[in-house]
Amino acid sequence: MTPDTLHGLPAYPASVVEQPGTTYSLVRDPASGQKWLAVQGETNGFEGGQAAGEGVTLFPLTPFNAAALRARLPWLNPVPLGLRTSAGFGDRLGLATPGHVQAVAGTGIAPIFAQQSVRENARTGRTPQEVIDDAMWGAFQAGWREDWGADADHLKRPEDIAPFVQAGYSFFTVDPSDYVDNAANADPVAVLREKVAALPWAELETSLADLEARLMSRTIDLGTQALTFDEETLLRAAAKYGAAVAHVKRMAAHLSKQMGSKPFDFEVSIDETDTPSTIHEHYYIAAEMRRLGIVWVSLAPRFVGRFEKGVDYIGDLAALDANLAGHAAVMHVFGGYKLSLHSGSDKFSVYPLAVRHAHGSVHLKTAGTSYLEALRVWAEIDPAAFREVLDFSRARYETDRATYHVSAQLERVPPTADLSDGALPGLLDQFDARQVLHVTFGSVLDQYGDALRALLRAHEDRYDAVLKRHFDRHLDLFSTSVTAD
């Protein structure tokens, strides 16, 4: 077997792995676009093979064969990434990992190539196993042999966890937002007292009196500022987040039982809430989780301003800078975790601030931006099909936006009849069009997913290049800031 061709089937040169007695590679049929695992040598443990001559057997890219290859090539297993500066690359189509590899290679940033939430899986019709296998095959194709992670994102219920554990995920993001009391942000003190009295104190393994003794009896030195809790501030933090902390404890215990002795990264996400997390509230959450013995690798507060899907930060950057400084100061006091930036796609003005204040202890989470870049390729290669998708997305927007915090206005997205073919790719750089196309991804994939995937498979080099260019803009800001710091 050569690195270039295998009986007329082009091999991906970066995928070739030569081990004593056995060589592995990924090959592709140019006519059909179908990919195969090619094994020359020991083939026990794989299934469905067909001989290709010269001792080579071709195997389909099934979950069984993915597991068998992971057993042979350990670097294809996702692993915990710990406290390294890291980035999550959501991939709703299962085709983006080679482009992600090209972007992250050489940056020093630890990648999470498989990242999908329960909600995203429901909308794309994919399973946790499919997501992790697609990422693995993409990493194999692109020759990635360093550590990488797999993130089970926005887990809300204990019963959500098992399919991700069984599929081999290494990173678990718990979202307790259903237990966050947003009204506590403005409740009068008398109401706060009632709410705090009703907290699950037995689960929290403490009492209000003990909580007051811990947090109201001292001034907390954050290095850059001092933090003190008066009664109202503490009551507001506990009323808003106390039940959420109890839920995180339940989820952590359930996950630990499921994982057994296998190590994993654990993230807590409180970003999908109505009101920002104050510095006092961040301290309260971290102090309570630490007291309860919860070990977490990253925390996603709800920062000031708006982190909307697919666009840069909306708000006062000076206010965000101060907010990030405060949250980073709390993180540094406790140590052992990173700040996590959710809805982090395309937040180019935010990255240098976050990395500077956090000293590189940052996790970036992106998702829909890779899908948007796929649409850019579609607009470039098949304008007629993209016009249909854009008009369809405009019709679906008001329905599909219901579960997202977005502010795009339909009247600012021109109908396709008003645009030349050459102007269509530029819509992917326009605020309102990006958000309309972003939040309608589930509906679009239901209707046009097969056509989009077929186009990207036929033009995979172009998609890889577009993704690399796009993520270079993201990761250059991270790696430059880390180096400078």
Q: What is the pLDDT of residues 264-294, one digit of tens each?
A: 999 999 998 999 999 999 999 999 999 999 9
Do the Cβ atoms of 179 and 246 come closer than 8 Å? yes
Which pLDDT value is given to residue 7? 54
d(CA 91, CA 89): 6
d(CA 274, CA 477): 29
d(CA 440, CA 392): 9
Environment class of residue 301 by beta-carbon count within 10 Å: exposed (0-12), middle (13-18) or buried (19+)? Answer: buried
d(CA 41, CA 234): 65
Beta pairing partners, 377: none
d(CA 321, CA 132): 35
What's the one-letter identity of residue 327? H
DSSP string, 42-90: --TT--S-EEEETTEEEE---HHHHHHHHHHSGGGS----TTS-EEEE-
Can you give the pTM of this predicted structure? 0.96
Which pLDDT value is given to residue 3? 43
Read off the tokens for 291. Answer: 């007291």
Q: What are phi and psi of 357, to 5 degrees?
A: -70, -35
Q: Express as a percent the part of the chain with pLDDT over 90.
A: 92
d(CA 378, CA 441): 14
Environment class of residue 329 by beta-carbon count within 10 Å: exposed (0-12), middle (13-18) or buried (19+)? Answer: buried
Read off the tokens for 347. Answer: 């937040």
> Which residues of the chain fall short of a pLDDT of 70?
1-8, 480-485
Do the Cβ atoms of 309 and 343 come closer than 8 Å? yes
Do the Cβ atoms of 275 and 183 come closer than 8 Å? no
Which pLDDT value is given to residue 416? 87
Do the Cβ atoms of 89 and 125 come closer than 8 Å? no
Do the Cβ atoms of 236 and 284 come closer than 8 Å? no
d(CA 480, CA 167): 35
Contacts of 420 (CB under 8 A, 6+ apart): none
Cα three-residue angle 186-206-254, rounded to 5 degrees: 90
Do the Cβ atoms of 370 and 464 come closer than 8 Å? no
Do the Cβ atoms of 174 and 251 come closer than 8 Å? yes
Place of tokens 């290095």: 223
The residue annotated as part of the active site, out of 267, 288, 373, 382, is: 267
Which pLDDT value is given to residue 224? 87
Would residue 388 show up in a list of annotated catalytic residues for this protein?
Answer: no
The residue annotated as part of the active site, out of 91, 133, 153, 265, is: 153
Which pLDDT value is given to residue 1? 38
Element (H, E) at 331: helix 317-334
Read off the tokens for 461. Answer: 């080099």
d(CA 180, CA 184): 9
d(CA 101, CA 106): 10
d(CA 316, CA 310): 18
Q: What is the CB-side half-sphere exposure of residue 374 using CA atoms within 13 A? A: 33
Do the Cβ atoms of 237 and 281 come closer than 8 Å? yes
Would residue 146 show up in a list of annotated catalytic residues for this protein?
Answer: no
**DSSP state, residue 278:** P
CB atoms within 10 A of CB 231: 12
**DSSP state, residue 314:** B
Three-state DSSP class for 148?
coil
d(CA 121, CA 462): 26
Do the Cβ atoms of 138 and 68 come closer than 8 Å? no
